[in-house]
Homo-oligomer: A and B are copies of this chain.
């Protein structure tokens, strides 16, 4: 606690809704469990309303408040900007922060369009040359079970991959009376289920397999075309009649696509907010010539592994409780069998980010990774919009 005290790294957070709360808990907890090379300091939080930002800062543990995110870039006590706003502002904030010499952690999807994402990648490449780091927040990579899955594939335990089967199933807008929140507005959100949760399964599946989609054919649907205006969105274009005012849903409720990977696998993806009873079922199955994996985030501490190389009589999918010291991230927390929760993935994310910054290496997933996911999303949207034609995907950084 004296001469060997760690250096600090000041963090500025933009946005304090769902993602802002999750990221705050990560910054608050990381040093207690991971012995990171920097002690993070929760320097300042930026939000448009001073009152709400101040309340959030007090509850979440941020030392100061700004009402303009640009002020964060001017603060000397901020070395890293953590972007937790809707996708339409990612590009502007991230590019500015990188240019200001701040490391950036940007929530997914990287942007609302390929063009924006390309701009961000250019900024990240320029910053990288100056030792400034950029990371996109695909937090599900940091579920211990997902990280273990990736390790097993990398070790060759699955052999040649034949099948990827990925679904992200939610049900929070099944009710047609659920209001028209910003996530259902294409201007704000870019797309619907596709960009919000489809992005996660694209990244997670590609991360686990180390393989990438090269083409897709897709269908999307908006089951409920109009919804009641949300209370705080009512100002936008609502007529005065109050509860009766409705507006059009401008994003997809569900997106399905099938495709092929560079490595020769067949892949099936489905993202929907209409899977009644499924609350946050990010499900991935991988079948290979030597074995198989299955994962469902609703039971996030479990990875199911089938080893097809042993004796037949005792072969079967095994439920690995991913809470052992031998497992990724798990040893930092509790004894075996004492499971982790959703927000732990964000703590792992910042632990890895701090390590990469200290080591002078590029954190993963990079903005290039984020751009590649954006290109898949774009191909899916174009295929769906054009009668489900086959749509190739250009890879900005093809695997060797």
A residues with CB within 8 A of B: 1, 18, 21-22, 24-25, 28-29, 31-32, 35, 54-55, 58-61, 148, 152, 157-158, 162-163, 165, 167, 169-172, 174, 217-219, 221, 223, 254, 256-260, 264, 266, 268, 270, 272, 274-281, 285, 287-292, 297-302, 304-308, 311-321, 323-324, 326-327, 333-344, 387-390
Contacts and interface: CB of A to CB of B under 8 A. Distances in A.
A109 to B, nearest CB: 18
A338 B275 CA distance: 16
6 contacts: A162-B223, A278-B287, A279-B337, A300-B339, A315-B320, A339-B339
A334 B390 contact: no
B326 A313 contact: yes
Give 10 closest A-B pairs by Cβ, nearest first.
Answer: A280-B337, A279-B337, A277-B306, A341-B341, A318-B318, A338-B342, A316-B318, A316-B320, A279-B336, A340-B341
A274 to B, nearest CB: 4
A319 B320 contact: no
A68 to B, nearest CB: 19
Nearest to A151: B313
A183 to B, nearest CB: 12
A280 B335 contact: yes
A18 B338 CA distance: 12
A333 B272 CA distance: 23
Contacts of A28: 28-29, 32
Most buried by B among A18, A264, A336, A338: A338
A161 B139 CA distance: 32
Number of copies: 4
Given A219-B259, A298-B337, 8 more contacts: A24-B32, A32-B59, A163-B254, A272-B287, A276-B287, A280-B335, A281-B337, A341-B344
B337 A339 contact: no
A247 to B, nearest CB: 21
Most buried by B among A1, A268, A304: A268
A163 B274 contact: yes
A25 B31 contact: no
Contacts of A25: 29, 32
A258 B258 CA distance: 7
Contact of A61 (B32, B221, B314, B319): B32
A268 B266 contact: no
B387 A387 contact: no
A300 B217 CA distance: 33
B307 A314 contact: yes
A160 to B, nearest CB: 8
A283 to B, nearest CB: 10
Contacts of A31: 59
Contacts of A24: 32
Contact of A318 (B292, B315, B338): B315
A105 to B, nearest CB: 19
Contacts of A339: 298, 300, 339, 341-342
Contacts of A312: 324, 326
Nearest to A344: B341
A279 B323 CA distance: 9
Nearest to A279: B337
B324 A313 contact: yes
Given A59-B32, A174-B308, A320-B314, A278 B337 contact: yes
Contact of A258 (B167, B256, B289, B301): B256
B1 A58 contact: yes
A301 to B, nearest CB: 8
Contacts of A323: 279-280
B162 A254 contact: yes
Given A268-B270, A270-B165, A338-B342, A316 B277 contact: yes
